[in-house]
Amino acid sequence: MVQLTLSKSPEPRAPSQDESQPWRLAAEPWYDPTADEVTLFEQCHAQQLAVLLKGPTGCGKTRFVEHMAWRLDRPLITIACHDDLTASDLIGRFLIGHTGTHWVDGPLTRAVREGAICYLDEVVEARQDTIVVLHPLTDYRRILPLDKTGETLTASPHFQLVVSYNPGYQRMLKDLKPSTRQRFVALDFDFPPAERETLIVMRESGADHATAHALVSLCQRLRTLHDRGLAEVPSTRLLIATARLIVSGIAVQSACQAALISPLSDDPALVGAMRDLVALTFV
């Protein structure tokens, strides 16, 4: 089944709000831009172009989409992709109820009808036959055939498809087919430079500058362990989690162990090297 996150405003944002589009972000998700990604995305939205966000896990892709949905005043429907995700999970299915069989839209169909931004996170995790469903939505046709009901939906002019993927992680395992990639405008994401990452950690965790700065320095050292076999380097998300634990009163060494080191590796040599770097950073 699909994992679906709908961002629902507790109250309508304005009395004139369209009742058919109740799924809105309630408040502005804070996002610190790196370059011209906000303008690029706005133009993609205006030009009805699908967008592919490329970058490592935890570097701000989801936050960016949330921010853009808020900025463009569109509902946001997020789908976490996985290898059991079927086309029916996206499109919809007939369900049997008390009064007989009735059709229930899947999240993609709902987004197409309602003019939402539909965000498929880690799209490469989905099976190829599921990904293919997206193709007619990503070219000039902007249609979604519902084979089971015999309908062909034309997407609302506000509908936008956004997918994310982590190229470094996927390269060895699976990759997006070139025929799929070519249907998207690709925006590259990466971890921010140290001073910006420090500010993000401060803002998101409430940590002071000295703590956030030390954590970011530590993280930059830990990221070099990629060359020594660390499969996934620590993300901004992990840094924020560590900083939150510290702010809540957990000792620095424990916070780093629980939120930074343990999630990254079980390998004793790598764990030892990471602990040494923590000790060097927080003397």
Residues that bind ligand ADP (CB under 6 A): 30-32, 55, 57-63, 200, 204, 236-237, 240
Q: Name which of 153, 104, 115, 157 is nearest 133 in CA terms.
A: 153
Q: Name which of 269, 249, 277, 247 is nearest 260 in CA terms.
A: 277
Sheet holding 3-6, edge to edge: 3-6, 76-80, 117-121, 160-165, 51-54, 185-188
Supply the angle between the helices 236-247 and 194-205 in degrees, to the nearest 10: 50
Supply the angle between the helices 236-247 and 209-223 in degrees, to the nearest 10: 140
Beta-bridge partner residues of 227? none
Rounded-to-integer distance, Cα 56 and Cα 236, Å = 10
Smallest distance, ligand ADP to C-beta of residue 273, A? 25
Beta-bridge partner residues of 145? 152
Identify which of residues 55 and 234 has a Cβ nearer to ligand ADP in the complex. 55
Q: Count of H helices and E strands in the chain? A: 12, 10
Smallest distance, ligand ADP to C-beta of residue 178, A? 23
Please report how many Cα atoms fall inside a 13 Å half-sphere around the Cα of residue 53, on the Cβ side. 27
Smallest distance, ligand ADP to C-beta of residue 256, A? 18
Smallest distance, ligand ADP to C-beta of residue 186, A? 14
| Number of Cβ atoms within 10 Å of the Cβ of 33 | 14
Smallest distance, ligand ADP to C-beta of residue 237, A? 4
Identify which of residues 66 and 114 has a Cβ nearer to ligand ADP in the complex. 66
Smallest distance, ligand ADP to C-beta of residue 214, A? 18
Identify which of residues 117 and 240 has a Cβ nearer to ligand ADP in the complex. 240
In this chain, which residue has its C-beta nearest to ligand ADP? 60
Identify which of residues 240 and 273 has a Cβ nearer to ligand ADP in the complex. 240
